[in-house]
Amino acid sequence: MGMKFLEENLLHYLRRPEFAELRTAFHTRTFAKGSLIYSPDEKDNLVFIVSSGRVRVYLAYGDKEFTLGILGTGDIYSSHTETFVQALDDVELQVIDVKAFRRRMVGDPEVTKAMVRVLGNILKASFAIIDGLVFKDANCRLIALLVTEARRHGISEPDGVRVDIDLPVEQVARLLGATRQTVSTLLNELVRAGLIRKVARGQYLIPDVEALDASADGLSCR
């Protein structure tokens, strides 16, 4: 989906000849869809790059989960954080010990830029979640998600902009800090209002992105 953090695939960068030795230091780990990959009490301090599938990075407090982002192919992250990492699909990771990674990659501008971008987006998502939970209701957060995805990654079509969320409603609910039933109801209300049209599972057409964005004004979202 459009929440992918990097425009460039870091795996392609690491396939350059000068990184041949580094590539041998990575090892492959596979995880089944739905399995927990890493948790805050992870003992190993690892860096991983997603080579296939998608993983969800989230915080959990009691029975509530707050998704910080979805990592896709070529995204880089670390196991040694206060977040949980879960496989959304069957996932393959390229994994390396942090110390070994640091020895080989310290000072490399492209990898540094990639890591800063991912961590920066995670931090931005954390603040957005806090802001949304404190100041906005679920409808505002849903509209903001759709508008952001449309502007960043939407596909222009003759009758609007198509957004590929590519997640079940349950996962979208976790992104928004809401229940599945609430998100289903809100999506149906947007459809009835003519602000979005459901194309297929996880795909929505937004006839007028600016009109959808403006609809948030009447909800005291800003």
137-165: per-residue pLDDT in tens?
778 888 888 998 888 888 999 999 999 88
Instruction: Output 100 or 220, whichever has higher pLDDT.
Output: 100
Hey, where are the domains in the chain?
3-106, 132-219
What is the dotted CATH code of the domain comprising 3-106? 2.60.120.10
pLDDT at 123: 64
pLDDT at 111 over 90: no
Q: State what percent of residues in the chain have pLDDT above 90.
A: 28
pLDDT at 70: 84
CB 44 within 8 Å of CB 108: no
12-24: per-residue pLDDT in tens?
777 777 777 778 8
Q: How many CA atoms lie within 13 A of 24 on its CB side?
A: 4
- Rounded to 5°, the CA angle 185-34-147 comes to 40
Bridge partners of 55, per DSSP, are: 71, 87
Q: Token pair of 91, please?
A: 């996932």
**Please, what is the end-to-end C-alpha distance for the chain in angstroms?**
26
pLDDT band with cut points at 50, 70 and 90 for residue 29: very high
Q: Token pair of 131, please?
A: 């802001």
CB 92 within 8 Å of CB 51: yes
pLDDT at 16: 77
- Across the range 107-126, mean pLDDT stands at 65
pLDDT at 125: 62
- Rounded to 5°, the CA angle 163-169-171 comes to 95
Which listed CATH number (3.30.1330.50, 3.90.226.10, 1.10.10.10, 1.10.3720.10) goes with 132-219? 1.10.10.10
pLDDT at 2: 38
Helix or strand run (H / E) with residue 197: strand 197-200
149-206: per-residue pLDDT in tens?
888 888 999 999 999 887 888 888 877 777 888 888 989 999 999 999 999 888 999 9
39-83: per-residue pLDDT in tens?
988 888 888 999 999 998 888 876 777 777 788 888 888 887 788
- Whole-number average pLDDT of the chain: 80
Instruction: Output 207 or 140, whichever has higher pLDDT.
Output: 207
pLDDT at 43: 83
